[in-house]
Chains A and B, each alone.
Chain A
């Protein structure tokens, strides 16, 4: 982490741009990327629709096919994708500060394994009740997060204990997922798609599920950006500066859990967004959370919507789950970070 971040800052000094100007520039860049992602996601598909037409359709919906496609299929899917990106990116950024670990992401606190086991259970054992997948997955995610918290509690919370408890609980729940998939190998297809994560057939009800968490979570995170900055100085210095470390850590972990749980319950277990997006944003904009959080949110929108567009169109008419695209791009990027930083 040290060297690469220094490099960036030194480069800025050479350019002679003030740091604030650079940060605003990066934010603007990410905002453009997010807007490009949103519009590409709306224009591209089995039927390409021009941007001007989309704007006209958004302003006054018609009864024609294009209007139907935009309003009923692409717009809700794009919005869900954008919020999934925001939620996972913010969740990861928060957890990296709260756990003071660069590898912390929503998986660490059991969100993925909890949602995974709950979702797969519904899909395999109660396939006729698939409308329950989202709420049950949400409950599973929160139950796993709370369970890990309780298991890691011993006179307060230590980040390293949460991370190790998270690894163990995830392995335990993973055994359940694998067991189910092996016993019911004839029903695995839907579960597999969900384990990879995707936005296929996501519509307005899913927007309704994720929207409140995205808005509340984003506001809480931005309000608490200063707390996250203080937490980066370590527990003892943070306490010395008058931060109630235990309360902030519990509250912010809860916010991160809700954000990630709402995202994975609608989109399945998208890997890497919560890890790579905050890191990529941090490399460019630095670790001041007042800038890092909005930057992560914007980059999250761009990454998810662009990946989803790619997933839909690359092998059209076959649609890949967006999780595959993101992991395929995310893993090399992560290895690149690893080589640079450690």
Chain B
């Protein structure tokens, strides 16, 4: 039984069915990666788990309770989400942003409390953003900005952090920086991390659990090295991959060719 369980969820946009009955279990305290081709419904799945998109049928439970029974703010104290390239006003500083993460803990009539201040400090420290607290978000590099957003999500004090393609638009070193930060948060805080990833190797190296989707359906789920095989990638992505072992001792995959199906 995972911390989040999606049971046969169906999500529709207008008449189009995006998710065709997904079952997904998010193990508690682990890093889960959701992978799959463009348009397979990975982001939609993530948003359904975060209650941003409603399900047409099926149900999702958090800690055994239907996510619909939580109030908006109550749910945001348990689960934080970072969507892909979120927007922000141009004059927002890192600290302003992280303070917004305290929103679910605040009543509308209350000002910043001592606890809010401490949480903001703690979140900035966890994301190694303390020295940049007064920088404008718009002046940060892509990797720093992503860390600022992660700090905002941490200020919510969630048990679960969902991220939609956290490494997109980042160069390879910033990609690793973000993946290592997430792994560290998982190790040190026991934070459950769920991320939609494009890079199969990141999924292999940084996740404990992987869910593979194709065309709105769940194709496979399990331990990454056992699940992500050349055969699976051939079926799901229609690519031929070669397998290597990296100097860190972990297997890595290199796509070498497309496979064209004969019709």
Contact = CB atoms under 8 A, between A and B. Distances in A.
Interface residues of B, number: 35
A27 to B, nearest CB: 16
Which 10 A-B residue pairings sit nearest by Cβ, starting from the closest? A242-B76, A242-B104, A242-B73, A287-B89, A240-B81, A286-B91, A2-B90, A5-B91, A5-B90, A236-B83
A132 interface: no
B187 interface: no
B83 A241 contact: no
A96 B81 CA distance: 25
Contacts of A240: 50, 52, 76, 80-83
Interface string A303-331: 00000000000000000000000000000
Given A232-B88, A233-B88, A242 B108 contact: no
Interface in A235-249: 236-237, 239-244
12 contacts: A5-B90, A223-B108, A226-B108, A236-B86, A239-B50, A240-B52, A240-B76, A240-B82, A241-B103, A242-B76, A243-B72, A287-B89
Nearest to B158: A240
Interface string A271-300: 000000000000000111000000000000
Nearest to A8: B91
Interface string B121-144: 000000000000000101100000
B92 interface: yes
Contacts of B166: none
Contacts of A185: none
A242 B107 CA distance: 12
B85 to A, nearest CB: 10
B75 interface: yes
Interface of A: 1-2, 5-6, 8-9, 19, 100, 223-224, 226-227, 229-230, 232-234, 236-237, 239-244, 286-288
Given A236-B83, A241-B76, A6 B104 contact: no
A302 B174 CA distance: 49
Interface string B194-211: 000000000000000000
A243 B100 CA distance: 11
B83 to A, nearest CB: 5
Most A CB contacts (10 A, CB to CB) among B72, B82, B106 go to B72
